[in-house]
Amino acid sequence: MSKRPPRTPRSGVISNGRALRPARSAGAARPSRDPAHRPASVQASDPGSFASQWGWDRPFEVYEDFDLPTYVGPSTFSNLPWITDPAELRARKVDVAIVGAPFDDMVTHRPGARFGPRAIRGAQNSSGSLNSLQLDVRPFEELTVVDAGDANIVPARFDRGHAMIFRKVREVAATGAIPIVFGGDHSITWPSASAVAEVRRPGSIGIVHFDAHADTAPDSFGQLAGHGSPMRRLIESGAVLGRNFVQVGLRGYWPPVEVLDWMREHELRWHLMTEIEERGAEAVIDDAIAEALDGPDSIYLSVDIDVVDPGSAPGTGTPEPGGMLPRELLRAVRRIVGKVELAGMDIVEVSPPYDWAESTAMIANRCALEAISALAVKHRDGGAVRHVAPAPRTRAAARA
């Protein structure tokens, strides 16, 4: 009945001969190579009278932060290390870096997307070394993926916010890592894609943009930096050519005719939701890939979560019924990232206060995982993932 718990030897070495060591801090977490959540070490407490009375001084397994359940510890994407120092991103040769853009000052309707990055990071119930059934790859074994933290945002300073997002994304992308940015309202794509376009120079980017809305308004109530205008600003500034700007999933009652006229004038290409209904998502995505890659070297992918039907993704600022199925979007992300050179990506407009059962945040989280898994397949097959800037042209080469 009163079976005594095993006692811990005072030597500090437990019976299997492994030395005790403390759990690692979140910042130092290193992905384990073990998918089965095996303990990293065993730890016993100092003997004390209550501990020995109840057996709390027994040795217990200690897990790496990466292998702990996702509800334990700081909320980083997939329990990955939180590394904000660009020198450290370089030193580790990081392939993919998550960046948070917790900014929603520019919404025209429901707010809340500033809480998106935390919700997207947290919307995951599997930890440790994940295995993609879709792509038969273990992404965190193939690639070095970290969470590079958030842009330095404060409320109600939209110009400062956009500047800080631009700087953060540029800083991360300049290390060679592929940034995957969690918004935030869609206005963050203006600084984020600008930063990626700048880092990729003299190469060029195309953009594939999933959204119910075109986001090409000249302004919103006089505001040029609103979340209805980022794509217009990107094209006006020359960050991307209109003809390499491809939109998928547009529907509903916006934009008005004059905005569509501007889009035609600038040779944008778009695929309405009705086209997906008629031709199927697969055929439309293949066209979108061909159009975006018609010229540019790489693709920036921008996913407004409202491209998904609000029945599945209610937690967003400007929901529009009649959208894509989550499985169509996830398949599209896999397909695009598998076929093109990915320069960067953002996943935006997740508004957790309007979400139910985290379903919107989970779709956003899986968009990131699908992209990372598709990059992992490329890496496994010998392809490059990190961006290596071309060597500066020497005078001799320039003369040649």
**Interface ranges with Mn ion (CB under 5 A):** 186, 211-213, 215, 304, 306
Q: From the CB of 186, what's the least distance to Mn ion, in Å?
A: 3
C-alpha to C-alpha distance for 183 and 142, rounded to whole angstroms: 26
Q: H or E element: which one contains 396?
A: helix 395-399
Q: From the CB of 37, what's the least distance to Mn ion, in Å?
A: 38
Q: From the CB of 193, what's the least distance to Mn ion, in Å?
A: 13
Amino acid at 167: R
C-alpha to C-alpha distance for 147 and 175, rounded to whole angstroms: 14
C-alpha to C-alpha distance for 268 and 288, rounded to whole angstroms: 11
Amino acid at 159: D
Kindly tell me which of 84 and 189 has the beta carbon lying closer to Mn ion.
Answer: 189
CA count, 13 A, side-chain hemisphere, 46: 1
Residue 145 backbone dihedrals phi, psi, to 5 degrees? -120, 135
Q: Which two tokens stand for residue 323?
A: 């959208």
Kindly tell me which of 145 and 284 has the beta carbon lying closer to Mn ion.
Answer: 284
Kindly tell me which of 121 and 213 has the beta carbon lying closer to Mn ion.
Answer: 213
Kindly tell me which of 150 and 346 has the beta carbon lying closer to Mn ion.
Answer: 346
Kindly tell me which of 98 and 305 has the beta carbon lying closer to Mn ion.
Answer: 305
Kindly tell me which of 150 and 215 has the beta carbon lying closer to Mn ion.
Answer: 215
Q: From the CB of 304, what's the least distance to Mn ion, in Å?
A: 4
Could you check whether the bond before residue 202 is cis, i.e. omega within 30 degrees of 0? yes
Contact call for residues 249 and 255 (beta carbons, < 8 A): no
CA-based nearest residue to 235, from 220, 257, 214: 214
Kindly tell me which of 89 and 250 has the beta carbon lying closer to Mn ion.
Answer: 250
Query: Exposure of 146 by Cβ count < 10 A (0-12 exposed, 13-18 middle, 19+ buried)?
Result: buried
Sign, CA torsion 371/372/378/383: positive
Q: From the CB of 306, what's the least distance to Mn ion, in Å?
A: 4
Q: From the CB of 325, what's the least distance to Mn ion, in Å?
A: 17
- The angle formed by the CA atoms of residues 68, 178 and 86, to the nearest 5 degrees, is 80
Q: From the CB of 118, what's the least distance to Mn ion, in Å?
A: 20
